[in-house]
A = this chain, B = another copy of it.
Amino acid sequence: MEMYLYAHPERGPEPRSGFAGKSSEEASGEETHPEFGCNDKGTQREPMKQDRHSAIRELVAAAPIGSQGELRRKLVKRGFEVTQATLSRDIHELHLYKGPNGYAVPNGAALDDGEDLPGTEEVLNSFGLKVKQAQNQLVLITTSGSAQPVALAIDSEDWPEVVGTIAGDDTVLIICPDNKRANLLRDRLEAMIG
């Protein structure tokens, strides 16, 4: 949900899921033992959470961790006594992902609801320099370092004249179905470059 250190669009309440039995992981009774009553962590102010988060990041990066119970055991070995509930929250706060190989740190790509599409016309007008054609291929020259965003904008247009784009640093290669449509697209792009 919170999108990490980014835009944070956030929408609904975003429910998560549940818990129940004892779990084969924790085997014997040892899951719920930090005394009982309730809180007690205040041992040394509160930097504890920070450290725990760091530890989690390390552990997750080091070896595949498939469940919060497993993570909990590893944390205990490092001296962090916490319950599964807290780990669930930690994982949420750290924006970790869970996949085939257990938990993983986020790798960019996650931007789902990002609404920051600048608009092809705008981007081209700002960074586009010129367009050249070679049969069904178009080579779009942009200002240094802008090829990537420009290609992204073009891709998002979903134009039928565009089969695909590949961007370098200041060059975007656009593959068109055929010469005819490459021509068409070239005119359109040139118009946008102004």
Contacts and interface: CB of A to CB of B under 8 A. Distances in A.
Given A134-B136, A177-B134, A100 B151 contact: no
Nearest to A168: B166
A27 interface: no
A100 B3 contact: yes
**Chain A binding surface SS class:** loop
Nearest to A166: B168
A99 B97 contact: yes
A164 B175 contact: no
A1 B101 contact: yes
A10 to B, nearest CB: 8
Given A165-B171, A168-B165, A176-B134, A145 B99 contact: no
Interface of A: 1-4, 6, 8-11, 14-15, 17-18, 20, 24, 63-64, 66-67, 92, 95-102, 104, 106-110, 112-113, 132-137, 139, 141, 143-145, 148, 151, 163-169, 171, 173, 175-178
Q: Which 9 A-B pairs have the closest CB atoms?
A: A139-B164, A97-B99, A166-B168, A101-B112, A109-B144, A107-B109, A97-B97, A134-B163, A164-B171
